[in-house]
Structure 1
Amino acid sequence: MKKLLFVLSILLIGLLAACGNDEVIKIGATSTPHAEVLEKAKPILEEEGITIEIEEYSDYFLPNLDLDEGAIDANYFQHIPFFEGETTDPDKAYDIVNLGGIHIEPIGIYSKGITSVDDIPEGTEVIISRNDADHLRVLELFEAEGLIKVADDIEDPLTLTQDDIVENPLNLQFLFGEVNPEFLIEAYENEENTLVAINVNYAIEGGLNPLDDPLLLEGEESDYVNIIAARSEDKDNEDLKKIVEVLQSEEIQNFIIEKYEGAVVPVGGNN
Structure 2
Amino acid sequence: MMNTLKKLAAVISIAAVSAGVWANQTVTVGASATPHAVILEHIKPELAKQGIDLKIKIYSDYVQPNTQLVSKKLDANYFQYRPFLNDFNAKTKSNLVPVVPVHIEPFLLYSSKITNLKQLKDGATVAIPSDPVNGGRGLLLLAKLNLITLKPGFKQLALPTDKLLSVRDIASNPKKLKIKELDSAMLPRTLSQVDLAALNCNYVLEAKLDIKKSLYIESGQDGKNIWAEYLVVRPGDQKKPEIQKVAKALNSDSTRQFIKQHFKGEIYTAF
Letter in structure 2 aligned against 1:18: A
Whole-angstrom CA distance in 1 between matches of 2:220 and 2:139: 17
SS at structure 2 position matched to 1:101 = strand
Q: Does 1:164 align with 2:169?
A: yes
Q: Which residue is 2:228 aligned to?
A: 225
Q: Which residue is 2:245 aligned to?
A: 242
Distance 1:185 1:54, change over 3 A: same
Q: Is the 8 A contact 2:31 2:59 kept in 1?
A: yes
Q: Is the 8 A contact 1:126 1:195 kept in 2?
A: yes
The TM-score normalised by the length of structure 2 is: 0.87
Whole-angstrom CA distance in 1 between matches of 2:173 and 2:18: 67
SS at structure 2 position matched to 1:232 = coil
Distance 1:209 1:4, change over 3 A: farther
Q: Is the 8 A contact 1:65 1:94 kept in 2?
A: no
Q: Which residue is 1:64 aligned to?
A: 66
Distance 1:242 1:16, change over 3 A: closer
Whole-angstrom CA distance in 1 between matches of 2:123 and 2:130: 21
Q: Is the 8 A contact 2:133 2:164 kept in 1?
A: yes
Q: Is the 8 A contact 1:98 1:228 kept in 2?
A: yes
Q: Percent identity?
A: 29
Q: Which residue is 2:145 aligned to?
A: 145
Whole-angstrom CA distance in 1 between matches of 2:252 and 2:216: 30
Q: Which residue is 1:47 aligned to?
A: 49
Whole-angstrom CA distance in 2 between matches of 1:251 and 1:18: 27
Q: RMSD over aligned Cα, in angstroms?
A: 2.4
1:173-184 to structure 2, matched below 5 A, reads: 173-176=178-181, 179-184=182-187
Q: Is the 8 A contact 1:123 1:172 kept in 2?
A: yes
Q: Is the 8 A contact 2:129 2:138 kept in 1?
A: no
Whole-angstrom CA distance in 2 between matches of 1:195 and 1:255: 32
SS at structure 1 position matched to 2:213 = coil
1:81-160 to structure 2, matched below 5 A, reads: 81-89=83-91, 92-154=92-154, 157-158=163-164, 160=166
Whole-angstrom CA distance in 2 between matches of 1:59 and 1:242: 26
User: 1:113-156 CA distances to partner (integer Å, 9 max, x unpaired)?
Assistant: 11111100111111112221112211221222222222223599
**Cα distance, 1:49 vs structure 2:** 2.7
**Cα distance, 1:214 vs structure 2:** 1.2
**Cα distance, 1:86 vs structure 2:** 0.4
Letter in structure 1 aligned against 2:37: A
Distance 1:71 1:150, change over 3 A: same
Letter in structure 2 aligned against 1:53: K
Q: Does 1:207 align with 2:208?
A: yes
Whole-angstrom CA distance in 2 between matches of 1:55 and 1:36: 12
Q: Which residue is 2:196 aligned to?
A: 195
Q: Which residue is 2:159 aligned to?
A: none
**Which runs of 5 or more residues in structure 2 are unaligned?**
156-161
Q: Which residue is 1:15 aligned to?
A: 16
Q: 1:257 aligns with which of 227, 246, 260?
A: 260
Give the total of aligned pairs.
259
Q: Is the 8 A contact 1:133 1:157 kept in 2?
A: no
SS at structure 1 position matched to 2:28 = strand
Q: Is the 8 A contact 1:99 1:235 kept in 2?
A: yes
User: 1:47-72 CA distances to partner (integer Å, 9 max, x unpaired)?
Assistant: 23322111111111011111011000
Decide which moves more: 98-107 or 214-223.
214-223
**Which runs of 5 or more residues in structure 1 are unaligned?**
none
**Cα distance, 1:197 vs structure 2:** 1.4
The TM-score normalised by the length of structure 1 is: 0.87
Q: Is the 8 A contact 2:107 2:220 kept in 1?
A: no
Q: 2:78 aligns with which of 63, 69, 76?
A: 76
Whole-angstrom CA distance in 2 between matches of 1:205 and 1:108: 14
Distance 1:4 1:157, change over 3 A: closer
